[in-house]
Structure formats: C-alpha cells, structure tokens
Structure 1
Amino acid sequence: MVQLLCSDKVYEKLKQELTKYQIEIEQDSDWVLVEKGYDLPEGKLSVVFDAMDYMNVIKLLVSGIREGTHYMDTLTGLTENKFVVFEPRDVVYLEAGPDGLMAFTKSGRYSIKETLQYYETLWAPKGFIRINKSQLVNLLHVKEIIPWFNSRYVLRTDNNAELEVSKMFSKKLRNTLNI
C-alpha cells in the first residue's frame, strides 16, 4: 500500500502502473510518493520524484517493497490448452510478437500475460536484460556472446537460440557484463 501526493495527471499514470503490480493506493499508508513541489507529510516515509521520472518510482517500489512475495517468483504460461507454472530462472528469454508475449524455456514456449516492460522491471534483479525492442534475455542462460556488425552482438543461449542485441541496447549489455 502506498499514498500518492501528486498532480491529477501523474496520479492517473501512477495508479495505472501500480495496479499492474497489484500495489494498492491508500490514504493512510506509511509510504508516500510525493511529486516534487508538493509538501512532505509528517511522520511518513516519503519518496520525492520528478513527474517526468514516475516510472523510476515504480521500479523502486517493485524491486524493494515486493521483493519477498511469492507470486513474483513464479510464472504461469499457456501451451497446448494447459497452464504450466515455472520459475523465472527457467526462462531463457521473453519475446513480444504478434501472438502476444512468449516465454521460451529449454522445454518449450509458453504464452504469458503482462508486457515486456513489466517483466523487465520486475526481473532486472534476477539477471534479465533487454536486448532489443521485443526481447528480454536471462543472462544465466547465455552461452556465448558473439561480436556482430555495427557495434551489435549475437547471444547464443543454452537452448541454441541466437538472439541479436540491437545497437541501442549493446551499450547497456557491455556495461552490465563489463565487456
């Protein structure tokens, strides 16, 4: 639960994002998100943020407040008209496509809910990194990193998939892996 002290426009954006992560908005919460320029409430833990950076506040909450919850540590995917529950560590990569979001594991491919942004935010501490506009990879499953043309890379995973890291995301990969 969190309280919001912000403009109406930012309130609606935060409410929409917080709902995705099942974080409730409540006036009597001990946690308060305060947009820069608003007065800090007394006796409450406050996080001050700039309206332009409201997504950073969401990332902070998701990685901090909810770190110990169980449902973050499992994923439900649909394949062949049956649901399968598995852990993030079993996911080799996620891919957004015309059929929605797919989770690829060593044992198969599963249709999952939510967005790539949702899992990028939630699973970054678990070793997942965005490699292009439609894929998120689990670095624990990367066997080889092959330098490619124009400052790009190809990642070969342990399920023998070859994933291209776009030029835009190459710098983040290099910084993350110190290469």
Structure 2
Amino acid sequence: MVQLLCSNKVYEKLKQELSKYQIEIEQDGGLVLVENGYGIPSGKLSVVFDAIDYMDVVKLLVSGVREDIHYMNTLTGLSDNKFAVIEPRDILYLEAGPEGMMAYTKSNHYSIKETLQYYEGIWAAKGFIRINKSQLVNLLHVKEIIPWFNSRYVLRMDNLAELEVSKMYSKKLRNTLKM
C-alpha cells in the first residue's frame, strides 16, 4: 500500500510504526513516503518529510488514509469479566496506570490493550488530546477548564472527575482550543 524512499534507519523506524496500524510496505505502492533529499518519483502521489518528523507521517496516514476502518472507530474494553465495544464519543478519558490502560465512560471503566500513544495518533481528529504523561481526554466531555497555578489547568469532566493538565501539555491545550 505504501512505498518508502528513505535511509535504512528511517525505513526500519517507519516499518515498525506502520506495522502497528497494519499498513503494508510495498516496492510499488500507490503512495510514496519520501525522506527529504531522496528523489521524488514521477506519476505517484508522494509525501516528502524530514527524517526527524517520521512520526508525523505515520500520524497523517493513520488519521487520514485509514480513518474508514471500523476497529479504529471503536474500542473493546473488559469490565466485570465481560467485553464491551465502545464508541470514542462515549469515552471521557483514557488513562495509563499501575493496573494497565483504562478507558473511562460516564457509567463504567474498562481495561484496554493498546497504548495512549496509539489512541493519541488515531483519535486526534475525534477530539482526543493528551493532557499529561498518563491521560488522554475527549474534549467533548470537558465541562469546565479551571486555570491552575504554574500555567496549568484542571479539567472538570461530565462525570465530575477532575484531571490535571501538566505544564508541558498546557500550551497544546491552549492552541487546540484557541484560548
């Protein structure tokens, strides 16, 4: 599906990241990812990127090219020895904790398999934003944004949970919400 024209080091990194999303690498793929400095093939759709920005290319592919895939539009979670298929709009936030990854809804919480980075990449277009090293929030369920000390914020969610936005992620929140 995707052809790569890049250095061996970037090729290995891209190969590993793309495999997480079941995006296949082919010698004659329809879309060509070209590292800056390599020749751009004629007659093919190409995306040129700097080596340091290879993760941005993965995010672009995952959020755009693969958005139609159903499994990315749902999440399967385990609660009380039962699995549930959950829509992203029903999730308030995701959290990485000592018991693993958890997805919180208004009425329940579920144990899930994937990482925060995975959902951050595929659900950014759905309104999910990272607020600290262990939480990803669905902005549709933020009831209030409370300014906090030291350039931080506290988000009060629909379920009245209060989540702290770290200083490192505050700027991204302000830019996203145009605050």
The corresponding residue for 1:142 is 142
1:10-25 aligned at under 5 Å gives the runs 10-25=10-25
- SS of the aligned residue for 1:10 comes to helix
Tell me, in whole angstroms, the C-alpha distance in 1 between the residues paired with 2:177 and 2:75: 26
CA distances 1:127-158 after superposition (whole Å, capped 9, x unpaired): 11111111010011011111111111111101
How far apart are 1:37 and its partner, in Å?
A: 1.5
* Other-structure match for 1:127: 127
Mapping of residues 158-173 of structure 1, within 5 Å: 158-173=158-173
Which residue of the partner structure matches residue 31 of structure 1?
Answer: 31
Q: Which runs of 4+ in 1 moved over 2 A?
A: none
Cα shift at 1:170: 0.9
Equivalences for residues 11-160 of structure 1 within 5 A: 11-160=11-160
Aligned residue pairs total 179
Shift of 1:81: 1.9
Could you tell me how far 1:42 is from its partner in structure 2? 2.3
Once the two structures are superposed, what CA deviation does each residue of 1:27-82 show, in whole Å capped at 9, x if it has no partner? 12110111111112222111111111100100111111012222211110111222
Q: Secondary structure at the match of 1:39?
A: coil
- Partner of 1:4, secondary structure, is strand
What RMSD in Å do the two structures reach over aligned CA positions? 1.0
Quote the Cα distance in structure 2 between the aligned partners of 1:27 and 1:115. 30
1:129 alignment partner, SS class: strand
Structure 1, unaligned runs of 5 or more: none
CA distance in 1, matches of 2:79, 2:27: 41
In the alignment, residue 136 of structure 1 is paired with which amino acid?
A: L
Give the deviation of 1:178 after TM superposition. 2.0
Any gaps of 5 or more consecutive residues in structure 2? none
- TM-score with structure 1 setting the length: 0.96
Percent identity, please: 80
In structure 2, C-alpha distance between the alignment counterparts of 1:56 and 1:178, rounded to whole Å: 22
Structure-2 residue corresponding to 1:176: 176
Q: How far apart in 1 are the matches of 2:119 and 2:168?
A: 19
